[in-house]
Amino acid sequence: MTDRQQLLTDALESRILVLDGSMGQLLQSQMTVADYGGAHLENLTDYVTKIRPDVVAGIHKMYLEAGSDIIETNTFNGTELVLNDFHVGNEAYELN
């Protein structure tokens, strides 16, 4: 077991951990079509990780400052199948 895994296990045994909240909703509330990379990528929140990592990092920071113990990746729809709908399925591995 790695040190990180042990720290997580120890924390889980001693208290309830707080998970972050909605990444997609926060992104959609502050992003423009241009921020997404154009109309063909609008609402593809997973792609924001690539083109606006500063925004994703800012949301992660906000959750940590609010007391979250765990933050998740921004890969809710990061499957090749979903990304194909936006013509970026070949980038699934990179985005995840």
**pLDDT, tens digit, 9 for 90 and up, residues 12-33:** 999 999 999 888 889 888 889 9
Query: pTM to 2 decimals?
Result: 0.82
Cα gap 64→62, rounded to integer Å: 5
Res 61 pLDDT > 90: yes
What is the number of structural domains in the chain? 1
Range of the domain at 81: 3-95
**pLDDT, tens digit, 9 for 90 and up, residues 2-12:** 999 999 999 99
Q: How many CB atoms lie within 10 A of CB 4?
A: 8
In this structure, the chain runs to a length of 96
Residues 38, 44, 49, 53, CA torsion sign: positive
Look at residue 28 in the predicted model and tell me its pLDDT: 86
Look at residue 36 in the predicted model and tell me its pLDDT: 87
H-only helix segments in the chain: 3-14, 23-30, 33-36, 48-51, 53-65, 80-84, 92-95
Name the pLDDT band for 89 (thresholds 50, 70, 90): very high
Percentage with pLDDT > 90 across the chain: 61
Helix, strand, or coil (residue 46): helix
